[in-house]
Structure formats: C-alpha cells, structure tokens
C-alpha cells in the first residue's frame, strides 16, 4: 500500500520499507505472525501486534533479520484514514503476476492516492505522479470512472484545465464536490494555484487531527512500559 505499490504504478519511489494493509481477524493475524517469524522480524516500536490496536488505526512496525531480508522494515495497518474498509479495498485491488509464480496484490491506484494524502511532505509529489502516470497510460480511451478520478484528484493547474476543457460535462458535474473545478473550466490557472494549495493544506490538517488521539495513546503505552 506504500512506496512499493507506487513503483508498480509507474510513480517510482525508492523505499526499503514494505507497507501492507491486512484484514485484522484472528486467523489472518496468526498467519501474519507465522510469516513474520519466518522473516525473523522483531517489533521495533510501540504498539505490539494486536487486533485492537490495528482496529483503532495504529501502525505496527517490524524489522527483518532473515539474511535474505536483512534490514527490511515492514509496517502493518488495518485501517487507513479516508480510505475504504479492507473488504472494499480487496474487492478492487490490482493483482500483478510476475514470472516464477510471484503474485503481488496492490491497492488500486484510486485507493493508493487516497492513502497517500497525508500530512507528510514526501507524499504529495507521489500523489501527483500517480495521477499523471495513470492519465498518460489511459488518456487515449478513458472510461468515465477514470475521467472522474483525474478531475477529482489532479494536482496541477495545467492538467486540470486540460481535463476540464476535454470533459466539460463531467467536470461540471463534479464542480460542487470540488469547487476549484470551476476555475479549471474557466481556464484560470492563476486562481487554481492557490486553490490547490488550500485544498492540500486542508487535507494535511485533517490528517494531523486524525493522528492526535492515536499519538496520545502511544504516549500512554510508552509510559506504561517505561520507554
């Protein structure tokens, strides 16, 4: 669900971490613990791998010590802010089959973009690259879902103006949900730049607010174990 998924979608991001989202039921967590044991992975931070922590939105962090995965960090979550539940994510996942029978299950590009809309500076250029890579791949024969995705998520004034001029009816229908599309339809690039900045800052603020109670809980856990 993280940088490794971005690589598959053509928005390359170097990462030694592997971020995964799981279905946090008892059987699945037991299978995950078995896999982590095979990787000689140790939990490197609070909290520990427990279903209740995952259900509240915490991430659990591991470092691998198996010789073939030495140093690799694995970050595990079950709930992502602003993103659908696991069953929905799984139903619209992207499956990648590689030679040798290797199979990767990725968040759909639509869900990956949502997951990347955080308070972190490094995530916003990745959001832009994911959308632009998807647009370049599908622009010649797009379907309505793809067009709506680009209009709802594009991060540059130039692309928004191009999209609004090419698909004015869809842009008009989405303008109530994303008001800056009105400026895109008018071709007003100067107005789009601050509107996009304001939109980004609002989403960053929402992400910061989301993590406040979770960080407070982590502090309580650290104090309770004397860290």
What pLDDT is recorded for position 9?
82
DSSP labels, 13-57: ---SEEEEE---SHHHHHHHHHHHHHTTEEE-SSS-S-HHHHHTT
Domain ranges of the chain: 3-115, 123-209
User: Which residues, other chains included, contact 55 with Cβ-Cβ below 8 Å and sequence gap of 6+?
Assistant: 24, 78, 79
Asked if 196 and 184 count as a contact pair (C-beta separation under 8 A), the reply is no
Question: What local confidence, expressed as pLDDT, does residue 223 receive?
Answer: 87
d(CA 172, CA 30) in angstroms, rounded, equals 49
Q: What percent of the chain has pLDDT over 90?
A: 89
Angle between helices 189-224 and 157-166 (to 10 degrees): 120
Which pLDDT score, from 0 to 100, does residue 12 have? Answer: 67
Are 21 and 116 in contact by the 8 Å Cβ rule? The answer is no
Q: pLDDT tens for residues 94-124? A: 999 989 999 999 999 999 999 999 999 999 9
pLDDT score, position 100: 92
**Positions of E strands within the chain:** 17-21, 41-43, 60-64, 73-77, 94-98, 102-106
Q: What is the pTM of this model?
A: 0.91
Count Cβ neighbours within 10 Å for each residue of 169-184 and write b for 16 or more, e otherwise.
Answer: ebbeebbeebebbbbb
| Segments in the chain below pLDDT 50 | none
């Amino acid at each position: 669900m993280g940088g490794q998924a971005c690589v598959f979608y053509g928005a390359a991001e170097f990462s030694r971490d592997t971020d995964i989202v799981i279905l946090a039921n008892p059987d699945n967590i037991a299978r995950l613990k078995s896999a982590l044991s095979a990787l000689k992975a140790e939990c490197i931070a609070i909290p520990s791998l427990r279903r209740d922590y995952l259900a509240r939105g915490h991430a659990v962090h591991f470092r691998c010590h198996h010789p073939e995965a030495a140093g690799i960090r694995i970050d595990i979550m079950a709930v992502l802010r602003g993103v659908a539940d696991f069953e929905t994510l799984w139903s619209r996942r992207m499956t990648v089959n590689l030679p040798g029978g290797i199979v990767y299950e990725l968040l759909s590009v639509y869900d990956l973009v949502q997951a990347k809309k955080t308070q972190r500076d490094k995530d916003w250029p990745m959001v832009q690259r994911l959308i632009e890579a998807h647009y370049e791949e599908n622009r010649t024969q797009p379907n309505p879902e793809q067009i709506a995705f680009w209009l709802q998520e594009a991060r540059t004034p130039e692309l928004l103006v191009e999209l609004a001029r090419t698909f004015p009816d869809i842009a008009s229908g989405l303008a109530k949900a994303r008001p800056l599309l009105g400026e895109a339809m008018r071709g007003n690039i100067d107005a789009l730049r601050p509107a996009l900045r304001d939109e980004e800052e609002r989403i960053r603020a929402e992400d910061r607010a989301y993590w406040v109670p979770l960080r407070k809980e982590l502090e309580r856990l650290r104090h309770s174990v004397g860290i």
